[in-house]
Amino acid sequence: MTANTNGPPGPLSSRGCRTVRTKTKGSVVGQMTFGELEGEGRCLQFESMLEHKVALVSLYLPGVVDVIDQVGPIEFIDAAGRRKKHTLDFNVVTVTKGGKRIRTGLVVKPLFKAERAKFRDEIERVARAAVPSFVDRVCIVTEANVCKQALLRAGQLHGARLPVPDIDAVLGSAPLSSTWTPIVDMLASLGLGPEGFAGVLRLVIRGVLLVEAPGLITMASRVMMKAR
């Protein structure tokens, strides 16, 4: 049997400096893909469920243009004077309204570990070594920083990220309202029903539409075109 070479290309490989561990006890390890609206997509590795949640929320934050996993290795000197290496879990790249590009290195750890003085001292040393060569700043992220509403929204958007050309063409060529309008009404005005809902979510991902309220988006949610 030969491979099918006529289908769409697969996602690009992870840009991580190392491959995540595949055998762990009591931890979730895997990879996800993102960026399919801009092309073939990219693989992103994670080594825990908390890392997965942080990556998912980060991908759909306003202004975020890229998320890179396993950033490093970063050489630093520990408290005992020994030379060590550290790999940042993620580099979240944001572009401000003024066009400034900011690289934020994330160290993802459960809160009980992140509160330890020894750990915080080590990450401070990593941060001094990482800025500005690898990132512009380093932040510790715990489960306390993961907003439940943002996580629900991110999971919903991620599930709708794959293009559907016919639906996307209708929505992409339609005049969009500059006032808050229920999604169900917007779709009805275009001759679409629930089959167009995921297409609306893709417009949210692209930053074309704003959603009035946080959390899960429903057919009753109100959206409007983002001012340019």
Residue-by-residue DSSP string for 179-194: S-EEHHHHHHHTT--G
Q: Please give the structure tokens belonging to residue 162.
A: 């794959």
Position with higher pLDDT, 8 vs 116: 116
Q: Give residue 218's pLDDT band: very low, low, confident or very high (50, 70, 90).
A: very high
Q: Give residue 127's pLDDT band: very low, low, confident or very high (50, 70, 90).
A: very high
Alpha-helix runs per DSSP H in the chain: 49-59, 111-114, 117-130, 148-159, 165-173, 183-189, 197-206
27 pLDDT exceeds 70?
Answer: yes
- Which whole number is the average pLDDT over 85-107? 97
- Which whole number is the average pLDDT over 104-126? 98
Q: Give residue 23's pLDDT band: very low, low, confident or very high (50, 70, 90).
A: low
pLDDT at 38: 86
- Which whole number is the average pLDDT over 155-165? 97
Strand order in the sheet with 101-108: 64-77, 83-95, 101-108, 137-141
Q: Please give the structure tokens belonging to residue 9.
A: 């290309």
49 pLDDT exceeds 80?
Answer: yes
Q: What is the C-alpha separation between 221 and 22, in angstroms, rounded? A: 40
pLDDT over 70 percentage in the chain:
94
Closest CA to 88 of 116, 49, 54, 117: 54
Q: Give residue 8's pLDDT band: very low, low, confident or very high (50, 70, 90).
A: low
> Mean pLDDT over all residues of the chain?
93
26 pLDDT exceeds 90?
Answer: no
Q: Find tokens 């309204």 and name the residue.
A: 97
Would you say 31 and 14 are in contact if contact means Cβ atoms under 8 Å apart? Answer: yes
Q: Give residue 228's pLDDT band: very low, low, confident or very high (50, 70, 90).
A: confident
Say whether 119 sits in a helix, a strand or coil. Answer: helix
Would you say 41 and 33 are in contact if contact means Cβ atoms under 8 Å apart? Answer: yes
Strand order in the sheet with 209-211: 181-182, 222-225, 209-211
Say whether 6 sits in a helix, a strand or coil. Answer: coil
Q: What is the C-alpha separation between 228 and 225, in angstroms, rounded? A: 9
Q: Please give the structure tokens belonging to residue 98.
A: 């003024």
Q: Give residue 24's pLDDT band: very low, low, confident or very high (50, 70, 90).
A: low
Q: Please give the structure tokens belonging to residue 36.
A: 């399919």
